[in-house]
Structure 1
Amino acid sequence: MNTAQIRLGLRENLGQFSLLVLVNAFVGAMVGLERSILPAIAEQEFHIAARTSILSFIVVFGITKALTNYFAGRFSDRFGRKRVLVAGWLVAIPVPFILMWAPNWNWVVGANVLLGVSQGLTWSTTVIMKIDLVGPKQRGLAMGLNEFAGYFAVAASALATGWTAAHFGLRPEPFYLGVVYVAAGLLLSALAVRETRDHVVHELREQHPQAVADKLSQAEIFRRTSLTDRNLSSVSQAGLVNNLNDGMAWGLFPLVFAAAGMTLAQIGVLAAIYPAIWGASQILTGALSDKIGRKWLIVWGMWLQAGGIAVTAVAADFRVFGLGAALLGIGTAMVYPTLLATIGDVAHPSWRASAVGVYRLWRDLGYAVGALLAGITADMFGVPTAIWLVAALTLLSGVVAAARMSETHATGKARAQRAAP
């Protein structure tokens, strides 16, 4: 593609951007397949009682997705975004069939290894491609739309599988949807999505005409994003804790709801409320971060998540559980697209995709850390203690972000300077 013909911006690339939003909806729907019913399958079909064992599927999902995120960033720079995206869908093909017919729990865990690899390749690449397309002005909105599509689809898929399980049984019928998701995602990615690396070249030419690109090694990018850059490392720890509490919610909340007497259909609704509000609200919060800045949306979002988890810990009926899920969803919506937009603000375009990969490595390790921490704590001290521990860690993460981060968006910096004495 001739880079002279390329333009950056959401409106300028609306067709491809919209297509990538749709593709990411199918990516999210694959996770939603498991969201409301897999813990029930573990207990009812495979007779697994230990919380740590039940949450093992989240542990392997988190670890494989995290590691794949890291390599997805590197591979997308080296081989192209589209090739990585298509590869991710190819890996997903066996997943719904294994979940339908798994003869024991180890097969389910194995399916989640494949699901984690697929999610790491596909979701990371759609994020990187949208950042490529829109340029610096609308990154928050772009990430809000991307995460809205993914997590609203998680919610819709969780609701659909919960309803299907309530009417037809836990297996195999709920997983028929997964075959549709994989087929649609693969065909759209292979036939309609276009490569976006030329947009990065154009951005470098237009936005940084006199700048010399940082020639950073992968080791240095990893150090900056993980430890030495105060903004990037603050984003990485907040992402890890965000998914730590999501891993706990994914694994323990359905068991909490069942223990409180909720029906399978009610559990499906409750499992859908959190990602539905999370997904839908990100359109607003992503755009809001472009107007008011990133830092305080991240800080207050972490604190609101902690409040939602605390409400769930003390709840005993459907309405209060729903309130806790709603607060958790709003808080997560404040954080999720804003963290990704912050990476785009700070990282140079020449190593931005790799920085996104490192961030998403840490963020999705949170699934594994959260599932292990919640499972071990629940087995040793009870489920309520596990939930309160995760709430406290989420609150602390917001404190760390408040203390270490500076504002990274131009509008937010200007507002901070005007407010300074």
Structure 2
Amino acid sequence: MNTIVATGEENTFAKFITPIIISVFAVYLTMGMTLGVLPGFVQNDLHFGSLVVGIVVGLQSLATLLTRAYSGTLTDTRGAKTSNYLGIALVAVAGAVYTCAVMFGPSAGTTLALLIVARIVHGVSESLSVTGSLTWGIGLVGAPKSGKVMTWNGIAMYAGIALGAPLAIWMRQAYGIQYVFASMILLSGISWMATFRLPALKVDGTHIRTPFYKIIGLISGQGLGLAFASIGFACISSFISLLFNSRSWGNPSLAFVTFGACYVLTRVFFSSFPDRFGGYRVALVSLMIELCGQLLIRFAPSPELAIAGCGLTGVGFSLVFPALAVLAIQKVAPQMRGTALGAYAAFFDLSLGLAGPVAGVIAGWAGYASVYLFGAVSCLMAVIVLLGKNREAGKAG
């Protein structure tokens, strides 16, 4: 009997979550594609420096950060499906602006300005789509499976980023960069079609809402840990291709693929670890693994060891988000789940938005390899934050 019930629950989970996973994958494939070609395009084609590269890359995360409160409120008051679909529509808009920038920009300055607009729109789309998809999935299958929902959403997100980068590099070499950006419009359509048959969630309009700043205070411990942990990922996504180019190590696609594969496989095989061993313990071990990965990239004398460092970073970073997110959403009422997820993810956005420019300054001053020392120190800071918050919680108890 228990086996039948478990099988039925798994079938229900797959029925609702599989379309959302496909939709999220399509959206994040567009983000991986831009990361694969934008740094090189801004530096080599438009002839801007490392700081500008960092700003252009980081602007998307900054735009996502600044709209997290709005996306959380919209998700809780208008519905997760509405939030998700608005985000998908903005992906298509961003794709159109990217395409116009590279095809019709009359000068490097104009092209850069259009790329900045596209990055901002792309960032808003991420805020709406991911908050909507996470809240939608948890609402459809129930809060007890929230960790599993976030784990599989994360797989879709980082698989999209990891596969999008080499796909974009190949497309640019084979067809031109304009086709990379134009394909974003097609992918937004695929994302919409994957979920249009799923039911919308009911909205409780009578619930008295907690202000966003108070939600941030409630989940600040988990959020700060995530923020520092995310810097290692930001360093890889923004500068690993430039590190490879500066050392004549060839195509950096394998570095992106290795990070993504290790990230995804860790989530597939160890997704139960936060529930079995506790989010706090899993986060600490994961951070130490990520720290080792960043140091390996920093001191790698060969592309093979740098790629191995990307893999270790993927393994370490993989379980940080779900381990801390489950703890975060337990601190709020179900009617505030979208806002809590938005606040928690805002720390991730803040991290990526600041990490790009800071890493750009470090790269210009001390070289691209030094960026990964910055990533290692950030992992150590995350460990210190979690240890401090755990000590405070122990005293309060």
State the TM-score bracket (shorter-chain normalisation): 0.7 to 0.9
> Which amino acid is the alignment partner of residue 367 of structure 1?
L
1:118 aligns with 2:105: no
Tell me the equivalent position of 1:375: 360
The question of whether the paired residues in 2 share the 8 Å contact of 1:95 and 1:111 is answered with yes
1:53 is displaced (CA, Å) by 0.6
Tell me the equivalent position of 1:225: 216
Write out aligned runs for 1:19-30 (5 A).
Answer: 19-30=19-30
Write out aligned runs for 1:346-361 (5 A).
Answer: 346-361=331-346
Residues 136 and 10 (structure 1 numbering): CA distance in 2 closer, same or farther, change over 3 Å? farther
Residues 38 and 45 (structure 1 numbering): CA distance in 2 closer, same or farther, change over 3 Å? same
Tell me the equivalent position of 1:67: 66
Residues 10 and 295 (structure 1 numbering): CA distance in 2 closer, same or farther, change over 3 Å? farther
Residue from 163, 174, 178 that aligns with 2:180? 174
Tell me the equivalent position of 1:291: 276
Tell me the equivalent position of 1:108: 115
Tell me the equivalent position of 2:378: 393
The question of whether the paired residues in 1 share the 8 Å contact of 2:230 and 2:351 is answered with yes
The question of whether the paired residues in 2 share the 8 Å contact of 1:156 and 1:276 is answered with no
1:152 is displaced (CA, Å) by 0.9
Question: 1:298 aligns to what SS in structure 2?
Answer: helix
Write out aligned runs for 1:154-165 (5 A).
Answer: 154-165=161-172
The question of whether the paired residues in 2 share the 8 Å contact of 1:87 and 1:121 is answered with yes
Deviations 1:250-273 (A, max 9, x none): 22211111112122xx21221222
Question: 1:36 aligns to what SS in structure 2?
Answer: helix
Which whole-Å CA distance do the structure 2 matches of 1:281 and 1:313 have between them?
Answer: 23
> Which amino acid is the alignment partner of residue 182 of structure 1?
S
Question: 1:55 aligns to what SS in structure 2?
Answer: helix
Which whole-Å CA distance do the structure 1 matches of 2:317 and 2:125 have between them?
Answer: 23
Write out aligned runs for 1:212-251 (5 A).
Answer: 215=208, 217-219=210-212, 222-226=213-217, 229=218, 232-251=219-238
> Which has the larger helix fraction?
2
Residues 405 and 192 (structure 1 numbering): CA distance in 2 closer, same or farther, change over 3 Å? farther
Which whole-Å CA distance do the structure 1 matches of 2:265 and 2:66 have between them?
Answer: 28
Tell me the equivalent position of 1:185: 191
1:254 aligns with 2:241: yes
> Which amino acid is the alignment partner of residue 311 of structure 1?
L
Which whole-Å CA distance do the structure 1 matches of 2:370 and 2:32 have between them?
Answer: 27
1:337 is displaced (CA, Å) by 2.1
The question of whether the paired residues in 1 share the 8 Å contact of 2:286 and 2:316 is answered with yes
Tell me the equivalent position of 2:3: none
TM-score, normalised relative to structure 2: 0.88
Residues 288 and 66 (structure 1 numbering): CA distance in 2 closer, same or farther, change over 3 Å? same
Deviations 1:9-30 (A, max 9, x none): 6543431221111111112111
Residues 74 and 134 (structure 1 numbering): CA distance in 2 closer, same or farther, change over 3 Å? same
1:267 aligns with 2:283: no
1:142 is displaced (CA, Å) by 1.9
Residues 343 and 9 (structure 1 numbering): CA distance in 2 closer, same or farther, change over 3 Å? farther
1:90 is displaced (CA, Å) by 1.4
- Report the RMSD for the aligned CA atoms in angstroms: 2.6
Unaligned regions of 5+ residues in structure 1, if any? Answer: 1-7, 202-212, 409-421
> Which amino acid is the alignment partner of residue 218 of structure 1?
P
1:215 is displaced (CA, Å) by 4.8
TM-score, normalised relative to structure 1: 0.83
1:167 is displaced (CA, Å) by 3.2
Which piece of structure 1 moves more, 75-84 or 280-289?
280-289
The question of whether the paired residues in 1 share the 8 Å contact of 2:42 and 2:53 is answered with yes
Tell me the equivalent position of 1:145: 152
Which stretches of structure 1, 4 residues or more, deviate above 6 A after TM superposition?
none
1:214 is displaced (CA, Å) by 9.0
Deviations 1:61-113 (A, max 9, x none): 11111122222111111111111111111111122233234121221121111
The question of whether the paired residues in 1 share the 8 Å contact of 2:232 and 2:375 is answered with yes
1:44 aligns with 2:44: yes
Residues 156 and 385 (structure 1 numbering): CA distance in 2 closer, same or farther, change over 3 Å? closer
Q: Percent identity?
A: 16
Residues 318 and 336 (structure 1 numbering): CA distance in 2 closer, same or farther, change over 3 Å? same
Deviations 1:295-323 (A, max 9, x none): 11111212221211111111132211110
Number of equivalent positions: 379
1:368 is displaced (CA, Å) by 0.9
> Which amino acid is the alignment partner of residue 339 of structure 1?
L
Residues 332 and 271 (structure 1 numbering): CA distance in 2 closer, same or farther, change over 3 Å? same
Question: 2:319 aligns to what SS in structure 1?
Answer: helix
Tell me the equivalent position of 2:90: 91
Which whole-Å CA distance do the structure 2 matches of 1:374 and 1:197 have between them?
Answer: 43
> Which amino acid is the alignment partner of residue 108 of structure 1?
L
Question: 1:236 aligns to what SS in structure 2?
Answer: helix
Which piece of structure 1 moves more, 355-364 or 94-103?
94-103
Write out aligned runs for 1:334-345 (5 A).
Answer: 334-345=319-330
